[in-house]
Amino acid sequence: MIYLDNAATSWPKPESVYQAMDEFLRKNGGNPGRGSHSMAIVARETIEETRLLVARLINSPEKERVIFTLNCTDALNLGLKGLLRPGNHVITSCMEHNSVVRPLAKIERQGIKITRLPPLAETGVVSFRDIEKAKTEDTKLIVVTHASNVTGVIQPIEKYGAIARNHGLFFMVDATQTAGKYQIDVQAENIDLLAFSGHKGLLGPPGTGVLYVSKRVELDS
């Protein structure tokens, strides 16, 4: 078989992934944080070691800013619904995945105002000027995908992050197509919320995701 659907999920996984999952489930399948026996302790230690590795991958200043989720969709929903309130304004693009489009559509019906910017025809990226023009006194968040799962266009998130920080806005990035493939630095790129899955560029198993939350952000449950 020739597999070309890696924008959906990576396959086949490296043999080391199969072996690590098999060994963990056979030897350390305890419930982390719910017991004092050896398997539960090892499971908890494995989670915290992984949290530290993810923090280093994205240059998070603290590993405690890394939250594990079911997938990227779950992470995006937690971030968007936890941050935004009626009356807030959001700037996004017309190229977002359904995992951004659908939660935004739902909270829009609850009183969130949304500006959806089209990309420039010649480059496929969202114009810096359009973002600047779209800002209002109610703008709270800029949210963009790092790379389109349809076109593959890479958005210049470092530029958008600078705009957000200069105007006192929050900046959220959907990096499910780029995590593990492109360097992402949440500090240098002024990213306040970063969401990605573990089963694509990171070559991990399904059912794994991450939400990074900066110190600037407080999410409601």
Same domain, 25 and 131: no
Q: Are residues 184 and 75 part of one domain? A: yes
What pLDDT was estimated at residue 27? 83
pLDDT, position 39:
82
- Domain identity same for 70 and 162: yes
Domain of residue 49 covers: 12-58
- Residue ranges in the chain whose pLDDT is less than 70: none
Neighbours of 14 (CB within 10 A): 11
Does one domain contain both 166 and 81? Answer: yes
- Tell me, yes or no, whether 39 and 89 share the same domain: no
Same domain, 111 and 29: no
Alpha carbons 85 and 40: distance in angstroms, whole number: 39
pTM listed for this prediction:
0.94
Torsion sign across C-alpha atoms 148, 154, 157, 160: negative
pLDDT at 181: 95
**Structural domain tally of the chain?**
2
pLDDT on residue 29: 74
- 25 plus 91 within the same structural domain: no
Same domain, yes or no: 79 and 154: yes
Say what the pLDDT of residue 221 is: 74
Pull the structure tokens for residue 116: 């959806």
Is residue 80 within 8 Å of 143, Cβ to Cβ? yes
Residue 135: count of CB within 10 angstroms of its CB: 16
Residue where a domain stops, chosen among 58, 74, 90: 58
Answer yes or no: is 218 within a domain.
Answer: no
Asked if 187 and 59 count as a contact pair (C-beta separation under 8 A), the reply is: yes
One-letter amino acid for residue 174 of the chain: D
What's the CATH code of the domain at 124?
3.40.640.10
pLDDT in tens, 89-120: 999 999 999 999 999 999 999 999 999 999 99
179 plus 95 within the same structural domain? yes
Q: What pLDDT digit, counting tens, does each position of 40-50 carry?
A: 888 899 999 99
Same domain, 91 and 197: yes
